[in-house]
A and B are shown apart, each in its own frame.
Chain A
Amino acid sequence: MLQFTDHDRALASGDLGPAAAMAMRIITAIAEANGATRLIDVTSAHIDSCLYHGDAGLDFAERLAGDGGRVMVPTTLNVSSLDLLHPGLFRGDARLRERGRRLMAAYVAMGGTPTWTCAPYQAATRPAFGEHIAWAESNAIVFANSVLGARTDRYGDFIDICAAITGRVPDAGLHRDEHRRARVVFRLEGISDAVLGSEILFPVVGHLVGRRTGTRVPAIVGLPTDASEDALKALGAAAASSGGVAMFHAVGRTPEASTLEEALGGLAPEREIVVGQATLDAGRAELSTRTEGALSAVSVGTPHFSLAEFRTLVDLIAERHVAAGIEFYVNTSREVLAGAAAEGLVLPLRAAGIEIVTDTCTYITPIMRDHEGVVMTNSGKMAYYAPGNLGVGVAFGSLADCVASAVSGQITFDAAGWR
């Protein structure tokens, strides 16, 4: 039975406005469906509903905004369907452009910060360990839970803004200890140092883990304990695409998994799965639908490129130029782009023929010009969704493979780094 505080009752009664009351009706229905006995405070929200999927989503945002809805906690906004900084890149129709713009305006009017990024965890301020937050967007959810140790359930369209307006969420799901412990163990065994040092290990492992665990929390044993945040970002994004993973433990690396026993909460796993080189090879192969043929584009930064990734890309390009006829896109946030520009990392990329996309993403909005050839990416998430969303063939490789292919105009893979 769900218990309300006095503040909850004030929100629900309409004393704090009709938008808060509507948000509270929705939060309450979700709490009751999940058997929650109380609501808890959140310290931040990240909104995914600002991406246009039809007029119902626009009607909802404009109703809340028109009824005076205002966010009660610091709220960031996910990618949208438009790049407001570089609008010339948009190739959709005028109606989609107008609806997308109105949706973005409604969320800004309610007090959302126009961050337009799927990687709010790359911002200067981010949630601390143990903080309860209401984040939407699958890769942001899995990063917050797994890497930051903050606590968010799988929020998504509609409930994200309801949580931001009320500051309250059901005490359920990944807010609670018992749902955060690992149920399935993946053990990497017999993997060479070269493969363990490879950037693509992480999206490949994420892809395999998502395929095998669905929505359960996995613990992964045998990953490098010095894995970078970008590596864990790639792992989580892939696992949240091929499965519904909202949290993983990388034993020895992530904050609730200093040991396997801690990750498991002292209990036995339901299942243990050994991952050897043959399984990794199969997972890697699954992420490409095409490994040869004409290359038309390279797309990286899905999830959004970090400052560290900008530095690596500038080094890899090494003052060369993308081959004629090849499009090369880097997706990132305004904040990271400003940081990269301040370090002098943007001009060398533009000089190389690379286009930088902010506020949105090349696999959810019409940006790419050429859909005939193969698109290459180092993102497990992009590789998973692009064939369906964009109808393109995808070649999956490392960032170095992407650069080498873009410069030569031919799809190439560094075989030596994966043995």
Chain B
Amino acid sequence: MTVRPLLAGTATGSVLVLDEPLSMWGGLDPETGELIDRRHPQSGARLDGCILVLPSGRGSSSSASVLAEAIRLGTAPMAIVLAEPDDIILLGALVARELYGLVHPVVVADEATYRSLRTGERVTIADGELARD
């Protein structure tokens, strides 16, 4: 399947589809990788190491700092698949690449691809390609 890379790179992992947008600020604990927004339906989920699939970010621009911090600490998703471009998420991943050389791809999937992704399946992202393992 073809995806649009906002930040190109390769990653493999297990898909976690979030049912609602997430603000990383107040929503992701960079120390643990846990989803800590208690109003989010998937509160308590572990985001570290997964391929995170979510409609969009939400809320504070400080989310970029939180994502960069999670990448630095090794608790971030390996890659992020969005339904629409999100500057704040992209900035967090861009800055982590600049500072630490850690590449966590950010891609936008079209509607059909986005809807086909299921929590628990393993996928590999390579630049503009997304494949089930």
Interface residues of A (CB under 8 A from B): 22, 25-26, 29-30, 32-34, 48-49, 51, 53-57, 59-60, 63, 136, 138, 154-159, 244, 388
Contacts and interface: CB of A to CB of B under 8 A. Distances in A.
A26 B98 contact: yes
A157 B62 contact: yes
A154 B25 CA distance: 16
Contacts of B98: 22, 25-26, 60, 63
B40 interface: no
Top 4 nearest A-B pairs by Cβ distance?
A: A156-B61, A54-B69, A56-B68, A53-B65
Given A29-B7, A33-B6, A157-B62, A56 B91 contact: no
B30 interface: yes
Nearest to B6: A33
A127 to B, nearest CB: 19
Given A56-B69, A157-B62, 13 more contacts: A25-B94, A29-B7, A29-B90, A30-B90, A32-B6, A55-B72, A63-B98, A154-B61, A155-B61, A156-B60, A156-B64, A157-B88, A158-B94
A291 B121 CA distance: 48
A53 B66 contact: yes
Nearest to A29: B94
Contacts of B59: 244
Nearest to B98: A22
Contacts of A156: 60-62, 64, 88, 91
Find the residue from B64, B68, B87 having the highest chain A CB count within 10 A: B87
Nearest to B39: A388
A25 B6 CA distance: 13
B112 interface: no
A157 B61 contact: yes
Chain A contact surface mostly: helix
22 contacts: A26-B95, A29-B6, A30-B90, A33-B6, A48-B62, A53-B62, A56-B68, A56-B72, A56-B96, A56-B99, A57-B69, A60-B68, A154-B61, A155-B61, A156-B60, A156-B64, A156-B88, A156-B91, A157-B61, A157-B91, A158-B91, A244-B58
B90 A54 contact: no
Nearest to B87: A30
Contacts of B62: 48, 51, 53, 156-157
A229 B87 CA distance: 30
A63 B61 contact: no
Interface in B59-85: 59-66, 68-69, 71-72, 85
B26 interface: yes
A63 B100 CA distance: 11
Contacts of B63: 157
Given A53-B25, A138-B60, A63 B87 contact: no
A37 to B, nearest CB: 16
Given A25-B98, A30-B91, A158-B95, A56 B26 contact: no
Contact of B71 (A51, A53, A56): A56
Contacts of A157: 61-65, 88, 91
